[in-house]
Amino acid sequence: MSVKNIALPAWLERGVADLFPAGTSEELEKNLALRIADFSKKGKPLRVKLGIDPTGSEIHLGHSILFRKLRAFQDAGHTAVLIIGDFTARIGDPTGKSKTRVQLSTKEVEKNAMTYLDQLGAGKSPENALLDFDTPGRLEVRRNSEWLSDLDLLKVIDLLSTATVGQMLAKEDFGKRTNSGIPISLHEFLYPLLQGYDSVAVNADIELGGTDQKFNVAMGRDLQRHFNRKQQFGLLLPILVGLDGVQKMSKSVGNTVGLNEDALSMYSKLEKVPDSLVDSYLTLLTDLNIDNSLPSNPRAKQKAMALAVTANFHGLAAAEAAQVDAARLLFGSSDEMADVREISISPVNFPAKAFYLLSVIGLCSSSSEARRQIQGGAVRLNGSKLTDPNHVFFDGDMLVGKVIQLGKKTFRRLTN
């Protein structure tokens, strides 16, 4: 078969925004389709690197795009090399930042790393996890402090010699800050070099990243060449636009869907995603065929997407229950809800006013915030809107089993 007739498998090509090097070279090191075909013949798995810096504690759907692709490589028989950037997190990736990031302590980074692994499925069966932690040979979890904390000054100088100041300033984020007169600390220049050195340390064949990571992934290729190693392929995936339909999904913007959210909250958010984003959510967050297997009606398609994504993280039964419950809430039904996270009213002293109730059970951070939320029409009890922050609940028993809703995102069943 000629090189031109060898294509990337559909599972790999789906959603890919950039692949480099790409083309029809007959060299294995420059043609990923050939490398995949070679694996099929010889059975030698590729080492697929994905680095994550645990600078926060929550993984959201935007992050999951890369993990889904990494899982696809695992399921195809390759080795996922998940690098916990416990060393580089202390520097902080400057990508997309308009100022120097606050450096985290070792304790903070490790705590975040453990929550990341829990969300990715550590300790769960592969069927119920985002990554396969169980199948032998499918996953290596490495911390880059293994090799970076032992670098001596000579090695650091060697790394610095592989890049120029001009190259660093050509990185979009650094260039913007320079042009705006915003300071760049010298240690920030080290980040892409250290992240690139990870590829050398783990002998990566492929590195996954978002489209905003191209500079860092390319740096890994440069350093592999510098150290006379086989160069990795860069496989970049799109940045997911958040629920607002404008900015990338980011916790700081408040337009996220977290992996740890209950099924009803997840489904309810997703079924409100703008129509213009539904196809990209289907492509990047599901395996559904967006051309043939989905309804043409935009609202029905939106619901199908919400159901499929929720099922990926909670199972089909829980997703279907959430879909039914979301409809009940929408139409104000008092029917009992199936899959809502519980919250206790035991700290509340009754009789209690509505604003006091919300603040004491922790749905609002203060009484004043609770008043604002109620007056703004953001609070519902079993689908009925609460409008008076001074409404009095005389007995907790009348609330037990009911679902309280804050905005479009938060649902809690009240318990004793």
Residues β-bridged to residue 50: 82
Distance CA 323, CA 311 (A): 11
Distance CA 316, CA 295 (A): 19
CB 312 within 8 A of CB 284: no
Residue, of 402 and 214, whose pLDDT is higher: 214
> Which residue type is seen at 317?
A
pLDDT at 335: 46
Among the listed residues 61, 73, 221, the one whose alpha carbon sits nearest the alpha carbon of residue 140: 73
Using N-to-C axis directions, what is the helix angle for 214-226 and 186-201, rounded to 10°? 60
231: its two tokens: 């160069």
Strands 206-210 and 47-52: parallel
Predicted model pTM: 0.78
Per-residue b/e over 398-407, b at no fewer than 16 CB within 10 Å?
ebeebbbbbe
What are 214-265's pLDDT values in tens digits? 999 999 999 999 999 999 999 999 999 999 899 999 887 888 898 988 888 8
133 to each of 76, 122, 189, 258, how far by Cα in Å? 15, 6, 34, 21
Find where tokens 């409809």 sit.
327
pLDDT at 411: 81
191: its two tokens: 């980040």
The SS3 assignment for 219 reads: helix
What are 157-186's pLDDT values in tens digits? 999 999 988 888 888 778 888 888 888 888
Distance CA 256, CA 60 (A): 6
Mean model confidence pLDDT for the chain: 87
Distance of CA 117 to the CA centre of its chain: 12
Share of the chain above pLDDT 70, in %: 92
The SS3 assignment for 34 reads: helix
Catalogue all structural domains in the chain, each as residue range(s) with its CATH number: 3-237 (3.40.50.620), 263-330 (no CATH), 342-415 (3.10.290.10)
Residues β-bridged to residue 20: 234
138: its two tokens: 């499918």
CB 106 within 8 A of CB 86: yes
pLDDT at 148: 95
Residue, of 203 and 23, whose pLDDT is higher: 203
What are 89-140's pLDDT values in tens digits? 877 666 655 555 566 788 888 898 999 999 999 999 998 899 999 999 999 9
What are 54-89's pLDDT values in tens digits? 888 889 999 999 999 999 999 999 999 999 999 988
Distance CA 44, CA 153 (A): 36
Q: How many other β-carbons are positioned within 10 Å of the β-carbon of residue 172?
A: 13
124: its two tokens: 């769960």
